[in-house]
Amino acid sequence: METKEKIVKSRFHHGSNSLDLTIPSEIVRSSKINLGDVFRVVASEEKGTLTLRYERIYSSKV
């Protein structure tokens, strides 16, 4: 799969201490991401750079 790069902003998730990151529509369409898909997120930090990696572990068939 080709690498795609977009800029997103974290947003307050109403009613919790979590933040939301939006998946840009181009990536949603090209990767066939559906409402209800489940992702594992892995956070790592190296030399002051935080990297978040999302891995789809369940694909809903909406």
Domains in the chain: boundaries: 11-58
pLDDT digits (tens, 9 = 90+) for 24-53: 999 999 999 999 999 999 999 999 999 999
Q: According to the model, what pLDDT value does residue 22 have?
A: 93
Joined tokens for residue 19: 């933040």
Q: How far apart are alpha carbons 12 and 47 in whole angstroms?
A: 27
Has residue 1 got a pLDDT over 80? no
Which region among 1-5, 31-35, 46-50, 55-59 has the lowest average model confidence (pLDDT)?
1-5
C-alpha to C-alpha distance for 37 and 55, rounded to whole angstroms: 10
Q: Tell me the residue type at 55.
A: E
Q: Which helix (H) or strand (E) holds 49?
A: strand 49-58
Residues 6+ apart with CB under 8 A from 26: 4, 6
pLDDT averaged over every residue in the chain: 93
Write down the CATH number for the domain with range 11-58: 2.10.260
